[in-house]
Amino acid sequence: MAADTAKPMRVSDKVMIEMSGVHKWFGDFHVLKNIDLTIKEGERIVIAGPSGSGKSTLIRCINHLETHDAGKIVIDGIELTEDLKRIDEVRREVGMVFQQFNLFPHMTVLENCTLAPLWVRKMPEAEARDLAMKFLERVRIPEQADKYPGQLSGGQQQRVAIARALCMNPKIMLFDEPTSALDPEMIKEVLDVMVELAREGMTMLCVTHEMGFAREVANRVVFMDEGEIIEQAPPEEFFNAPKSERTKSFLAQILAH
């Protein structure tokens, strides 16, 4: 691993995401329990934990795809409330990449990328096009711009999804298991793009089981179980000297593979 080249990434003192005392219920089911999490600009956070522990729910609260029932979430100085204007403001700053890609199948790759810049940022068409091509080059698929998502491989689709999110020039990127739906030979092409993004200083929150990625780029690993944050630590500490028993048994399971 290129750990030494990855580490000199700067973290500023500016707080980008602040969650304090956040609770959420699905009916009677308590999914998130008293979540406190502060993320500074330029931080790369990996969220790990067993299935059903609330990882997806946590990051979906950050762009209000899920509503929290108690506590406070502040994104880049904007507090998330039921105020629709603020939600839209936050969503403009936060890009998201999903496990199932969720590309728009009726639009070409290029149209997928220009949609939000055109309609949300009201960007002129030529400018949006140039921007989209720039990011498609960054994820190394400019030649697929005029194809439809259904014509691409899973790895290519996920790279388009990343480019689509980047076209909004987000300050924060959320990834929810971006490689879990991919065949093994395609995982690397997506991770490579994410590593590059991390090097450029993007604030990233990533739910993933790719522990190699966590070691290489994360500056903090957050471990969740049953809706709680059990512990958070830099990767070396997290992998080599986990404090809680639950973390140890989780690591034993996941590293056994």
Assign 3-class secondary structure to the chain.
CCHHHHCCCCCCCCEEEEEEEEEEEECCEEEEEEEEEEEECCCEEEEECCCCCCHHHHHHHHCCCCCCCEEEEEECCEECCCCHHHHHHHHHHEEEECCCCCCCCCCCHHHHHHHHHHHCCCCCHHHHHHHHHHHHHHCCCHHHCCCCHHHCCHHHHHHHHHHHHHCCCCCEEEEECCCCCCCHHHHHHHHHHHHHHHHCCCEEEEECCCHHHHHHHCCEEEEEECCEEEEEECHHHHHHCCCCHHHHHHHHHHHCC
List the single partner that 96 binds among other proteins, ligand ATP, Mg ion, none, CB under 5 to 8 Å by kind. Answer: other proteins
25 binds other proteins (CB under 8 A): no
Q: How far is the CB of 253 from other proteins (least distance, A)?
A: 28
208 binds Mg ion (CB under 5 A): no
56 binds Mg ion (CB under 5 A): yes
Q: Which listed range, 9-17, 37-45, 143-151, 182-190, lies at the site for other proteins (CB under 8 A)?
A: 143-151
Residue 119 or 236 with smaller CB distance to other proteins: 119
Considering only residues 168 to 207 of the shown chain, the ones binding Mg ion according to CB under 5 A are none
Which residues, other chains included, contact 251 with Cβ-Cβ below 8 Å and sequence gap of 6+? 239, 242
178 binds ligand ATP (CB under 6 A): no
Going residue by residue from 57 to 76, which x/- string records binding to other proteins, judged by CB under 8 A?
Answer: ------x-x-----------
Buried/exposed code over 9-20 (b: 16+ C-beta within 10 A; e: otherwise): beeeeeebbbbe
Q: Which listed range, 14-22, 53-61, 122-130, 154-162, lies at the site for Mg ion (CB under 5 A)?
A: 53-61
Considering only residues 42 to 61 of the shown chain, the ones binding ligand ATP according to CB under 6 A are 49, 51-57
Residue 50 or 71 with smaller CB distance to Mg ion: 50
112 binds ligand ATP (CB under 6 A): no
Residue 111 or 210 with smaller CB distance to ligand ATP: 210
For ligand ATP, the binding residues (CB under 6 A) are: 26, 29, 31, 49, 51-57
For other proteins, the binding residues (CB under 8 A) are: 63, 65, 88, 91-92, 94-96, 98, 100, 102-106, 115-116, 119-120, 147-151, 164-165, 168
